[in-house]
Amino acid sequence: MSDPILATRGLSKSFGALKATDDVSIDLLPGEIHAIIGPNGAGKSTLIEQISGGLRPDAGSVHLMGQDVTHQNTQARAKAGLGRTFQISALAMEDTVLENALLGAIGQSARPWRFWSGVAGDRTLVERAFNALERVGLSDAADERTANLSHGQRRQLEIAVALTLSPKAFVMDEPMAGLGAEGSKFLTGFLDTLRDEAPILLVEHDMDAVFALADRITVLVYGKVIASGTTDDIRRSAEVREAYLGEDA
Amino acid sequence: MIVERWINWVTLLAFMVVPLWALVTDEPFTITLATRAAILALAAVGLNIALGIGGLVSLGHAAFFGLGGYAMGILAFHAQNYTPLELGPFTTEGTKSMPVIWLTAIIAAALAGLIIGLLSLRTAGVYFIMITLAFGQMFFYFAISWSAYGGEDGLSIYVRNGFPGLNTLVPIQFFGICFVALCLSLYVHWRLRSSPFGLALNAARQVPQRVETVGLNPYRLKLVAFVISAAITGLAGALFADLNRFVSPAMFSWQLSGELIVLIIIGGVGRLMGPVIGAAIFVALEHWLGGLTDFWHIWLGVILLLIVLFGRGGVVGLLTGKAGPHV
């Protein structure tokens, strides 16, 4: 078995009496899509925050490429190769689509301290940004103000920004949220090819997408892993069915 | 964008033509008014980098303005009295040379900006406003009690400081100096805004969490912006002191910090020419309305209210039909 790109070990986080994350250990292996599913309030977002550095766990650790990053902040983890997307699009709404992608390219270049050279004239940055937009199908809207984008386009841009980082692992928080049938079909197809570039830890409510994409699924309920395995294992698991999927799944 | 570019050039041209016209028609006081507007605009261009691009509502920029003023005052005071300037173990002389004074003002303001920024930027929103205000007031009360340099009465400098090759006592020549400084600061703003740093800073104002997830540090971006902003406002302070040939604690007052914010809002927050148009309007109102009534601030308030209610992009926003950035 190859070493995991991203791993958590015994991750726990409580808010008062509420155990949001309870002893969660998951692996993200090269080339795979590992989906995290669970009902609302299962602690998926809290888990994502701990993985990406927004929250410090009470116990346990997070490893990226074999390095313990538990005590590193968000920026350090991003630099180390974590590409995170937000559940609610976190984009600079006043800026153009291209400028949002450029922000990622600037972060990837790790050289924001250039005060005098125009960013539009920097071919390396522009190419990287434009390339990412092209891949998600947004290059036609490059000069559009982000506030004018449709919800679906914002979701695409959210992923484009992560692409500009050329991350070692993606962590995506409900990328399909609010997408129509057309949009989720496109995104499902896109993520399917993306896994070869870097593995994806995918938190998602859209079960069609999850079962179409995931190599493995981990089910969280009340912060605890109640099941983890291949897509078929999970589909068959009675416990999961009862807790989450419902009778007709 | 094209409309705004026209507005920018017309504004600068008008800023040049008015004093030249005043020179031809022999109205030196108008030149002095234009100089005052240019200096306030320079101070506000500085603040606009922090406020407009970085979203940092600093109510303490008078600290940097005043530091620039006192840098001029102290150096010129020692030069005109032929007394040595003692800095701890070092003793130096005062100077009447503008370039040296400016450099001192810029460095002093930048250092203060670094220290104030390091502490203030740990907070955000209304706490940031309050902590910068508090720092500004510290400088104000320090200046009042600093009897060596005039305390509450301030310092008078009898002769305007010199610039090689120019007679700075001629109003139009001193205006020229201030106008060039203003143009340079606008150039700095423009370059910064279109640089990778400017893009990242502008994003840090809107979505700091995004900036972190691409591996950049919003705190550091804002700190650097704050220091640059302070340095420019410091330079403006030195020029302002030279214009009046007088320095007093009033340069540190929080009203001045507030006025700088007001004139940026009038002109257009984050717009290149916002501070320039705002300062021109401010000085014009101060002069014409101030001549009619002591309560001219009421009318300034009305204008501010109308702009905040109906034209979020200030005058530039109204002219271009585009709302400005939200702070």
Domain architecture of chain B: domains with CATH: 2-320 (1.10.3470)
Distance of CA B156 to the CA centre of its chain: 21
CB B127 within 8 A of CB B236: no
> A169-173 and A82-85: which strand pairing?
parallel
Mutate to test the interface with B, among A49, A51, A55, A75 (most CBs of B within 10 A): A75
| CB-CB under 8 Å, B192 with A115 | yes
Enumerate the residues of chain A whose CB falls inside 8 A of the CB of residue B192.
115
Range of weakest confidence among A19-23, B49-53, B198-202, B241-245: A19-23
Please give the residue of chain A at the shortest CA–CA distance from B206.
Answer: A92
The ipTM of this complex is 0.90
Buried b (16+ CB within 10 A) or exposed e, A126-153: bebbbebbebbebbebbeeebeebeebb
pLDDT in tens, A187-232: 999 999 999 999 999 999 888 899 999 999 999 988 999 889 998 8
Enumerate the residues of chain A whose CB falls inside 8 A of the CB of residue B221.
112
Please give the residue of chain A at the shortest CA–CA distance from B208.
Answer: A90
pLDDT in tens, B146-185: 999 989 999 999 999 999 999 999 999 999 999 999 999 9
Listed in sequence order, the residues at least 6 apart from B225 whose beta carbon sits closer than 8 Å to its beta carbon are B49, B50, B53, B54, B56, B201
Decide if pLDDT at A87 tops 50.
Answer: yes
How distant, in Å, are the alpha carbons of A43, A107, A219, B99, B184 from that of A161? Answer: 25, 10, 28, 45, 34
CA distance to partner chain B, nearest, from residue A25 (Å): 23
Question: In the structure, what pLDDT confidence band is assigned to residue A248 with cuts at 50, 70 and 90?
Answer: very low
The torsion defined by the Cα of B104, B106, B108 and B111, in degrees rounded to 10, comes to: -140
Rounded-to-integer distance, Cα A112 and Cα B216, Å: 8
DSSP code for B97: B
Domain architecture of chain A: domains with CATH: 1-81+167-249 (3.40.50.300), 92-166 (no CATH)
- For chain A, what percentages of helix, strand and coil (3-state, to nearest 5) are there? 40, 25, 35
B215–chain A Cβ distance below 8 A for any pair: yes
